[in-house]
Amino acid sequence: MINVPPSYSIVFVLMILEGMSLPIPSEIVMPLVGYYSTKGFLDPYAGIAVGTLGSLVGSLIDYYIALKLGLPFLERYGKIFKLTHDKLESLSRWFERYGIQSVFLFRFVPAFRALISFPAGLSKMRLPLFILATFFGHLIWDSVLVYIGIYFSSTWESIINILDHYLYIISAIVAIGIVLYILIKGNFLKF
């Protein structure tokens, strides 16, 4: 059943992955923290703290990847983080122009919020400033998302019930899609 409440450790790990620019949307994780807080499973303040710390840890990982491994690594493996050459150039221009403000403000821009850690690391931004801007950006963002989850908790319940009802159908479609992808990529099926 899908209506199983998350633990703080699950929230922490998911938000680390989100902070690392991986496709884990905080826009789903943190509103669910708010939703589950209305059901008494999680404390909203503890959820915000755990989520914010997880995002900070993930952002620090990206910062250190850029700082220690540099531009050649990001250009070669950036696709793992959905970081294209054009995105990196654009983010680097923003970072060069606005510095700490860009690190703070980009925490509110979906699709770019985690990626700003890379130009900060590449430019060797002072770590205390990076942590400060990142922490407060994540804190505000995560707080807003938890509040949205609380405010729309009855809507979340409807969505969860619909997903629970159609979970088997959704799972079958996803499984068929994965099998087809593997067959096509492995040249077992040709179109």
The answer to whether 138 and 29 are in contact (CB under 8 A) is no
> Please, which pLDDT band fits residue 78 given cuts at 50, 70 and 90?
confident
Q: Let me know whether 70 and 159 are in one domain.
A: no
Residues in CB range of 180: below 8 A, 6 or more apart: 189
pLDDT tens digits for 163-179? 566 666 766 676 676 67
The answer to whether 31 and 146 are in contact (CB under 8 A) is yes
In a domain, 136, yes or no: yes
Structural domain of 171:
154-191
Q: Let me know whether 70 and 143 are in one domain.
A: yes
Model confidence at 112: pLDDT above 80: no
Q: Let me know whether 166 and 136 are in one domain.
A: no
d(CA 51, CA 55): 6
What integer pLDDT is reported at residue 22 of this predicted model? 84
What integer pLDDT is reported at residue 2 of this predicted model? 44
Q: Let me know whether 81 and 52 are in one domain.
A: yes
d(CA 135, CA 13): 16
* Arithmetic mean of pLDDT, 135-144: 95
> Please, which pLDDT band fits residue 30 given cuts at 50, 70 and 90?
very high
Q: Let me know whether 89 and 158 are in one domain.
A: no
How many H-runs (helices) and E-runs (strands) does the chain carry? 9, 0
Q: What percent of the chain has pLDDT over 70?
A: 81
> Please, which pLDDT band fits residue 1 given cuts at 50, 70 and 90?
very low
Q: Let me know whether 40 and 64 are in one domain.
A: yes
Q: Let me know whether 164 and 113 are in one domain.
A: no
Residue 31 or residue 161, greater confidence: 31
In a domain, 2, yes or no: no
Q: Let me know whether 78 and 138 are in one domain.
A: yes
Which of 13-17, 57-61, 94-98, 141-145 has the least mean pLDDT?
A: 94-98
In a domain, 105, yes or no: yes
